[in-house]
Amino acid sequence: MSDDPLYTPLCRLLGIELPILQAGMAGGPTTPELVAAVSEAGGLGTLGAAYMEPEAIREAVRAIRRLTAKPFGVNLFAAPMRDDYSRYREVQAVLDRLAAPLGVPPRAGIEPVPTPDRLERQFEVLMEEGVPVISTAFAPLPERLARAARDAGRHVATMVTTVEEAEIAEAAGCDFLVAQGSDAGGHRGTFDVERHPNGALVGTFSLVPQVADRAGIPVAAAGGVMDGRGLAAALLLGAQGAQLGTRFLTAAESGAHAAYREALLASREDDTVVTRWFSGRPARALRNRFVAEAERAGIEPMPFPSHNTATGPMRREAARQGDAGYMALWSGQAPRLLTRDTPAADIVREIAAQARALLTRGRAN
Amino acid sequence: MSDDPLYTPLCRLLGIELPILQAGMAGGPTTPELVAAVSEAGGLGTLGAAYMEPEAIREAVRAIRRLTAKPFGVNLFAAPMRDDYSRYREVQAVLDRLAAPLGVPPRAGIEPVPTPDRLERQFEVLMEEGVPVISTAFAPLPERLARAARDAGRHVATMVTTVEEAEIAEAAGCDFLVAQGSDAGGHRGTFDVERHPNGALVGTFSLVPQVADRAGIPVAAAGGVMDGRGLAAALLLGAQGAQLGTRFLTAAESGAHAAYREALLASREDDTVVTRWFSGRPARALRNRFVAEAERAGIEPMPFPSHNTATGPMRREAARQGDAGYMALWSGQAPRLLTRDTPAADIVREIAAQARALLTRGRAN
């Protein structure tokens, strides 16, 4: 057994050197260059593939493989993709009004677009391509898929926001868990959003030891981990690693839009809000113009995934125009700890060095 | 300089051995026995005196002094106590309806009770009695009082929930800060509740390093700290100590109602909610019958302190009957880490021993 305080059982399980997981953020930030850089540096890079066509995932996985021979992960959404457009006209009319300043054509008068359900075909590609780690949000992989993955020697994980979800995920065959505190940016991983409409919002500091006490498998902490202090603290709270999303959004290799990066770098710890207005599921984002106006609309958004499909045209037009007022600016609660354009490998190495120093010295002061 | 990782500059400043602060919870839990036991064990006990008459504070401080010669603190509310009963009839009618099952007589038809403003007289007692540490919630001490306290060699602190509040508090003459993450139970310390109606809700894990980076004075972490893992993590995140509230509510010496303790010991990490229905200020409590029904009432509570005064008869009757459905069951987000009836000195010693072992060994696994 290693004397390195950073070499945890999770590292051994995944065959990585450092317990630093880059979150599989959907929607473009996780370029093959970012994923590979994190893995090459000793952590676990993860492709956020939830919204990708299966063949695009295959291409990205092969691009990652050309850049690194080390383990990496791919993240998918394991929620049922059943559309519910029963409130389409009412909600789309609000979206039309809010997106009008961008010049997005109104859609309330036309038929809604069906949301594709790609999970099975996405999963098949991951199996065919031999992806070492398959992680999910919103639920564990369906039992049949999880078994197939494990039988093939792959590692399976899901994100949990309560102790009960950790118990469900472990029973569903996960190899490790990501305990996502309320500090985290992006979608809440909460399984049952009818019971927790805004997601379970237990702070990272509180969630990690309670999940670690109950879980018989390794736990990585997520939500507010930004530097070596965070990694060291996560390990002492009982985690065996940390997953960082926001920190990598402003990395050199990040695919996040330039306007999104600038918004992150200009933001403060109290600038985020948990909103369902981008996707229909609760997610933490910077409170931009769209969020502020949507939260005042006086009605509820549609459920996921239909609402997500409905806001697609607005989000794409915002990206085209570079208007951060209408993008989904996912962010955790520690944006003051962001750095600008740092190469991902440097981020990983600096976090590891700082955490190792803190854990070896045993004090920050 | 000591080699003990627990002996921080905050310990030196306050003349204590361990960086473990017991939160000054108002409303009865902080008996002189609890405060003295924490201080005797090497931490800083704190009397939650916000709602106490000045002469009752004097008596309690003298009782603490009879039990320990070590430093301790007293916590006050430094918010302006200006009543606003402009919506009294509407809100009191709801309170009357909700409290009816307890047999509380309706009050909407009678005059509201003015809230006393005791801060100046409470402060005078603390000065006369030589209380070593004066901490506040909702705002720093008014400048004139802070200067008087510091001139007399007392230490002054306040609770902050954002980096901006930390900057305000430091400029107002605080000697140290308590960075209160959203994981914390009880009142949010947020200064400006018009800007943040539910309080600033930045997780402990995220808030502590961001405040520590900006503060020129020591910071203690609050919110979800329950054991030695939490203390060790707080120190590595940049804090110089931790403040624990919930953990001491089920201590042997706690003055918390038996029904309140039982509710805490039976609760889970996702059972709390931030509500303004007890006091008019946002505060984290277990979601009991009163909270669930009040949050469905469809109207806003009155502002603090008027709403707090208005719910007083219900809370007192609930305590008399031992009915936890109508008490303010303040709780942080890690109730699974509570222990039953542990003597406070044992809590302090166990936390210190566990944190010291973790920081010395440099790993939890």
B230 contacts on A by Cβ (under 8 Å): 205, 209, 237
Window 214-253 of B, Cβ < 8 Å to A: 223-227, 229-230, 232-238, 240
CA distance A328 to B352: 43
Q: What's the pLDDT tens digit per position in B97-127?
A: 999 999 999 999 999 999 999 999 999 999 9
Strand residues in A38-175 grouped as ranges (E): 45-48, 72-77, 133-137, 155-160
**Tokens 């007289």, located at residue:** B121
Predicted pLDDT at B1 = 45
CA distance B23 to B225: 11
Question: Testing the interface with B: which of A201, A213, A219, A236 to mutate, by most B Cβ within 10 A?
Answer: A236
CA distance B275 to A107: 38
Look at B181 and A203 and tell me if their CB atoms are within 8 Å: yes
Name which of B38, B271, B362 is nearest A355 in CA terms.
Answer: B362
Domain annotation for chain A: domains and CATH numbers: 1-81+116-253+343-365 (3.20.20.70), 82-115+256-339 (no CATH)
A305, two tokens = 């995934």
Look at B227 and A209 and tell me if their CB atoms are within 8 Å: yes
Cβ-nearest to A333 among B203, B225, B270: B203
| Non-local CB neighbours of A246 within 8 Å, separated by 6+ positions | A185, A226, A264, A330, A331, A332, A334, A335, A338
Q: Residue-wise pLDDT tens for chain A (365 aa)?
A: 468 999 999 999 999 999 999 999 999 999 999 999 999 999 999 999 999 999 999 999 999 999 999 999 999 999 989 999 999 999 999 999 999 999 999 999 999 999 999 999 999 999 999 999 999 999 999 999 999 999 999 999 999 999 999 999 999 999 999 999 999 999 999 999 999 999 999 999 999 999 999 999 999 999 999 999 999 999 999 999 999 999 999 999 999 999 999 999 999 999 999 999 999 999 999 999 999 999 999 999 999 999 999 999 999 999 999 999 999 999 999 999 999 999 999 999 999 999 999 999 876 54
Helices assigned H by DSSP within A185-227: 204-214
| Non-local CB neighbours of A58 within 8 Å, separated by 6+ positions | A125, A128, A129
Give the chain A residue whose CA is nearest to the CA of B219: A365
The model scores a pTM over 0.95: yes
Window 147-206 of A, Cβ < 8 Å to B: 162-164, 181-183, 196, 200-206
Q: What's the pLDDT tens digit per position in B297-347?
A: 999 999 999 999 999 999 999 999 999 999 999 999 999 999 999 999 999
Cβ-nearest to A205 among B213, B230, B359: B230
Strand residues in A181-320 grouped as ranges (E): 186-187, 219-222, 242-244, 272-275, 283-286
B205 contacts on A by Cβ (under 8 Å): 181, 183, 203-205, 223-225, 230, 233, 334
A359 contacts on B by Cβ (under 8 Å): 236, 362-363
Q: Residue-wise pLDDT tens for chain B (365 aa)?
A: 468 999 999 999 999 999 999 999 999 999 999 999 999 999 999 999 999 999 999 999 999 999 999 999 999 999 989 999 999 999 999 999 999 999 999 999 999 999 999 999 999 999 999 999 999 999 999 999 999 999 999 999 999 999 999 999 999 999 999 999 999 999 999 999 999 999 999 999 999 999 999 999 999 999 999 999 999 999 999 999 999 999 999 999 999 999 999 999 999 999 999 999 999 999 999 999 999 999 999 999 999 999 999 999 999 999 999 999 999 999 999 999 999 999 999 999 999 999 999 999 876 54
Determine the distance in angstroms separating the CA of B213 from the nearest CA of chain A, rounded to an integer: 9
B227 contacts on A by Cβ (under 8 Å): 209
Look at A334 and B182 and tell me if their CB atoms are within 8 Å: no
| Bridge partner residues of B221 (DSSP) | B179, B242
Q: Which amino acid is at A223?
A: G
Burial code (b: 16+ CB inside 10 Å, e: under 16) for B288-322 equals bebbebbeeeeeebbbbbbbbbbbebbbebbbeee
Asked if the C-beta of A2 comes within 8 angstroms of chain B's C-beta atoms, the answer is: no
